[in-house]
């Protein structure tokens, strides 16, 4: 099942020079990058990404912290394609809470923040990367961040081995 998903390397990942390492992990898994760009977004656009659903699930304070976090510097956004790519990318990225992310995952290797610490300090959890949670989120986020003209079709060597 070939799917598409959305990934963003958040400002802390870009600022720490982790972009290449993160890209490498997806490419090493045979995931195809079909769109990529760097953007520095404003709060108005960030509200479209972190919708009111986040506030309903996690509270308005958390949403505001996320809006501040994602707008504090440039981010690298990607459209990825591959077999069960949404699930595979989530495994590569690791748990949303870095403290519980397994070693070998992006968040497990490059972050260690906990929800409890972030709450105590009243700051966002710096977890380096965002990845769509499911097919519905992926469809919404891809459409929000990319036009059809910005998504590309091509064959990779990996497709020869999985098709």
Question: Is residue 163's pLDDT more than 90?
Answer: no
Helix (H, G, I), strand (E, B) or coil at 4: strand
Question: Is residue 87's pLDDT more than 60?
Answer: yes
Contact by Cβ (8 Å): 2, 86: no
Distances (CA, A) of 27 to 30, 41, 53, 77, 84: 5, 26, 31, 15, 15
Distances (CA, A) of 78 to 63, 89, 102, 128, 142: 22, 12, 23, 14, 9
Q: What CA–CA distance (Å, rounded) separates 74 from 76?
A: 7
Q: pTM for the whole thing? A: 0.93
Catalytic residue among 84, 112, 117, 130: 130
152 counts as catalytic? no
pLDDT tens digit sequence for 10-34: 999 999 999 999 999 999 999 999 9
Q: Show the domains of the chain with their CATH numbers.
A: 2-148 (3.30.70.141)
User: In the prediction, which pLDDT does 119 show?
Assistant: 86
pLDDT tens digit sequence for 27-81: 999 999 999 999 999 999 999 999 878 767 777 888 899 999 999 999 999 999 9
Q: What is the pLDDT confidence band of residue 162, given thresholds at 50, 70 and 90? A: low
Q: Considering the chain, what is the average pLDDT of its residues? A: 93
């Amino acid at each position: 099942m070939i799917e598409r998903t959305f990934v963003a390397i958040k400002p802390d990942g870009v600022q720490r020079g982790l972009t290449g390492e993160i890209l490498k992990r997806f490419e090493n898994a045979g995931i195809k990058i079909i769109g990529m760009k760097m953007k520095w977004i404003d709060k108005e656009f960030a509200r479209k990404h972190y919708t009111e659903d986040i506030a309903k699930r996690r509270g308005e304070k958390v949403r505001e912290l996320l809006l501040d976090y994602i707008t504090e510097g440039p981010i690298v956004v990607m459209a990825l394609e591959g077999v069960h790519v949404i699930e595979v990318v989530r495994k590569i990225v690791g748990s949303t809470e870095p403290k519980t992310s397994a070693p070998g995952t992006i968040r497990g290797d490059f972050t260690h923040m906990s929800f409890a610490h972030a709450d105590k300090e009243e700051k966002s959890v710096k977890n380096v990367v965002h990845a769509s949670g499911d097919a519905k989120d992926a469809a919404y986020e891809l459409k929000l961040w990319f036009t059809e003209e910005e998504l590309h079709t091509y064959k990779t060597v990996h497709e020869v081995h999985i098709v």
